[in-house]
Amino acid sequence: HLASVIRALHKPMLVVNHDFVEPQKIMLAYDGQEASKKALQMVAGSSLLKSLPCHLVYVGEAAQAEGILNEASAELTTSGVNFEAVQLHGPTDAALCEYQQQNSIDLTVMGAFSHNRLRDMLLGSFTTKMLNKTRQPLLLLR
């Protein structure tokens, strides 16, 4: 039911799966898609989020990683965000959740449901996988 609510709302949504604690570190899951660009703008423009150490994370091919991470890095640098850019490999949901645990990330900021429903039905929704696997709060943007 949560995925349906998130799909229906086109507003930022904070999903908390345990007692909420003030975040000390955030992870921005970035893939260059429109929804992740909104997440990037949220981090860069929010006085609350940009004051926290940020892990800018891309999961995918090395050939694409440099351009995608450079694009996001430029905006974060211009906005004064203290960040570390990282490229990961493997299944996106598993790589992000593992990185989140290894680096004590308190909040993950990411785009949500950026693909169409048919693709999600055939391949499964990345957002739904993250909702099921993560142990930390998610700030989802559409």
Read off the pLDDT of residues 120-137 as tens digits, 9 standing for 90 and up: 443 346 677 777 777 788
55: Cβ contacts below 8 Å, ≥ 6 apart: 25, 26, 27, 28, 83, 84, 86, 99, 103, 105
The stretches in the chain having pLDDT less than 50 are: 115-124
Q: 90 — alpha (psi -120 to 50), left (phi > 0) or beta?
A: left
pLDDT at 88: 95
Q: Classify the C-alpha dihedral 20-112-127-97 as positive or negative.
A: negative
pLDDT at 141: 82
pTM: 0.84
Could you give the strand order of the β-sheet that contains 13-15, starting from the edge strand earlier in sequence? 13-15, 138-141, 107-111, 26-29, 54-59, 83-88
pLDDT at 7: 58
